[in-house]
């Protein structure tokens, strides 16, 4: 089903809408994500660990189109290999370069399988990006970061939406997080620089 998040849906926090929506009907074809949204998202909000937001259909507000969870984070540039550190710092004036930069973490993101065609995922990412450069945003946020599932579908989605790997290779990332080279990475760290969208540059 092809829809527009901005014309056909309403937006709000999961906590505020939990009594009106059909949470059990949500299925994004990923058991880990489904379990989080159905069982843990509200607890995360209560414990101030992350807040989940949802778009629901205007014609039937029980139907969740997509959801995402965000929390505060930072991009620790000083911990990166020199080549990646230079890339992160590239657009930041030398006198403003820091050891770390404010970021928002997308902890979870899912689109219900009924609405997964028609570019809903890209609409959602466009919304998140715009949300954090809005002048009414109450805090500074330079980057969006994500630990993307290390599979072709998830990586393709984030690359399509202009995210880059924080580390140039899986081995480099394994070294950073202390994993043995033989161990498989379940996620890859990726980032997006919000300054590329800012109208105040």
Is 67 within 8 Å of 53 (Cβ atoms)? yes
Residue 1 has a pLDDT of: 67
The residues, ordered by sequence, that sit 6+ positions from 109 with a Cβ below 8 Å of its Cβ are: 33, 66, 67, 68, 69, 124, 146
β-pairing, 64-75 vs 101-111, is: antiparallel
Residue 97 has a pLDDT of: 87
Using pLDDT thresholds of 50, 70 and 90, give the confidence band for residue 70: very high
In tens, the pLDDT along 15-34 reads: 988 888 999 999 999 999 99
Residues 22 and 38: their CA atoms lie apart, in Å, by: 10
- How would CATH label the architecture of 5-197? 3-Layer(aba) Sandwich (3.40)
Residue 104 has a pLDDT of: 97
Helix and strand numbers, DSSP H then E, in the chain: 8, 7
Q: Which two tokens stand for residue 86?
A: 């230079």
User: Where are the domains positioned within the chain?
Assistant: 5-197
Distances (CA, A) of 13 to 139, 161, 168: 18, 23, 35
Residue 199 has a pLDDT of: 55
**Higher per-residue pLDDT: 80 or 48:** 48
Q: What is the mean pLDDT of the chain?
A: 91
In tens, the pLDDT along 98-129 reads: 899 999 999 999 999 999 888 999 999 999 99
| pTM score | 0.91
In tens, the pLDDT along 156-195 reads: 999 999 999 999 899 889 988 888 877 889 999 999 999 8
DSSP assignments along 152-177, one per residue: HHHHHHHHHTT-EESSSSHHHHHHHH
């Amino acid at each position: 089903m092809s829809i527009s998040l901005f014309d056909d849906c309403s937006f709000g926090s999961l906590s505020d809408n939990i009594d009106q929506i059909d949470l059990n009907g949500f299925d994004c074809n990923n058991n880990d994500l489904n379990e989080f949204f159905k069982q843990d998202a509200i607890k995360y909000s209560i414990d101030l660990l992350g807040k989940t937001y949802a778009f629901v259909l205007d014609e039937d507000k029980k139907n969740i189109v997509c959801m995402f969870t965000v929390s505060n984070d930072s991009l620790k540039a000083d911990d990166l290999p020199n080549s990646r550190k230079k890339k992160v710092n590239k657009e930041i004036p030398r006198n403003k370069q820091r050891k770390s930069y404010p970021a928002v973490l997308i902890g979870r993101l899912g689109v219900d399988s009924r609405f997964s065609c028609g570019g809903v995922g890209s609409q959602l990412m466009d919304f998140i990006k715009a949300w954090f450069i809005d002048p009414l945003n109450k805090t500074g946020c330079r980057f969006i970061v994500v630990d993307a599932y290390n599979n072709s579908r998830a990586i393709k989605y984030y690359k399509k939406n202009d995210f880059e790997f924080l580390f140039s290779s899986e081995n480099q990332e394994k070294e950073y997080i202390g994993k043995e080279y033989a161990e498989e990475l379940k996620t890859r760290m990726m980032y997006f620089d919000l300054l590329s969208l800012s109208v105040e540059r």
